Amino acid sequence: MKRALISGITGQDGAYLAKFLLEKGYKVYGTYRRVSTPNFWRLQSLSIFNKVNLVLADLIDMSSIIEAIKISQPDEIYNLGAQSFVGASFMQPLGTTEITGIGVARFLEVIRQINPEMKFYQAGTSELFGNNKEGAQNEESPFCPQSPYAVAKLYGHWMTKVYRDGYKIFACNGILFNHESPLRGLEFVTRKISNAVAKTAVGIQNELLLGNLEAMRDWGYAPEYVECMWLMLQQEEADDYVIATNEMHSVKEFAEKAFDVVDLDWQEHVKVDKRFFRPLDVPSLRGDYSKAKLKLGWEPKMGFEELVKTMVTEDLHRWERWLNGEKFPWDAPNYPEEAMILTRTLRM
């Protein structure tokens, strides 16, 4: 039985990857940070919370990484742990650097010293390309990061290549473009939209405040993308891959399609608020997954409109369940604004 260690197992990708690996027959370990409010709702919602082995660790604490690897004895390590919200990285640049950037070096150095035979996957990001002017970005496109998050990820990307080339560690960078799902965090614009549309449909919200409506992204479906992480570590040689859909859609289009799901006009509810504009923004990102198609045999399956519908439908289902008095794992109670709405709803 193969063994895998996933840092950031409580996140969207970590939870989906854990489910995928369990179905492949792996024994799955996952690291999590001790926080005041436990964040296991994704694992619970996928019905795998009792099937994974959780290990307390933190990417800023090398000794805890060593302990996690000694406990799990993994064949494969998937480093998905990060401060992954671009907006927050402008407010926490040093923390983002420590976790998202230097945390990668800590993992790689532990692998080098303990067992260089372990395979390593590093979660990259399309934000590495930033204001790259090419029509579509592939593995050869130049990087031009536009946020502390992207700069930290770039450090992790190059350290992964250095350890692969310098120490012959099987280490891969997955340069994943935006990938969404009903398990996305509420701070991300896609889930912010789908959640707001659901609340509007059930009558507890009427206005959605967004930033740059013209920003364009290549949006895919997260459960499909985690398969690529696994595929990369099954190849004979370690390499880097762009994972994307080759399509690009604007935030405005996402909002329009989301409100269409519940037969509402997006223009009656969406307002632009400059507070949500970033100090530096990336106007557009579109990936070219040709290499992944050729070498991994992978192609995206879920289209843009189906993705939007899937997210809105699930959030609508959650709010309807809540209003009917059901208790179930979800993330809304962990966010102050959502918690206030839930509290008011209970008093009604």
Backbone angles phi, psi at 200, to 5 degrees: -65, -40
Active site residue 117: no
Q: List the structure tokens of 133.
A: 């002017």
Helix (H) or strand (E) holding 37: none
Q: Look at the chain and count its residues.
A: 348
Residues 6 or more apart in contact with residue 325 via CB below 8 angstroms: none
Active site residue 149: yes
Buried b (16+ CB within 10 A) or exposed e, 83-106: bbbbbbbeebbeebbbbbbbbbbb
H runs (alpha helix) in 202-289: 222-232, 251-261
Q: 76-79 and 119-123 as β-strands: parallel, antiparallel, unpaired?
A: parallel
3-state helix, strand, coil in the chain (%, to 5): 45, 15, 40
Place of tokens 């008095």: 325
Active site residue 313: no
Q: List the structure tokens of 331.
A: 């993330």
From the list 29, 32, 149, 155, the catalytic residue is 149
Query: Do residues 32 and 59 touch, judged by C-beta distance below 8 A?
Result: no
Q: Which of 160, 133, 129 shows the shortest CA–CA distance to 146?
A: 129
From the list 127, 180, 253, 314, the catalytic residue is 127
From the list 31, 97, 100, 125, the catalytic residue is 125
> Which residues are marked as active site?
125, 127, 149
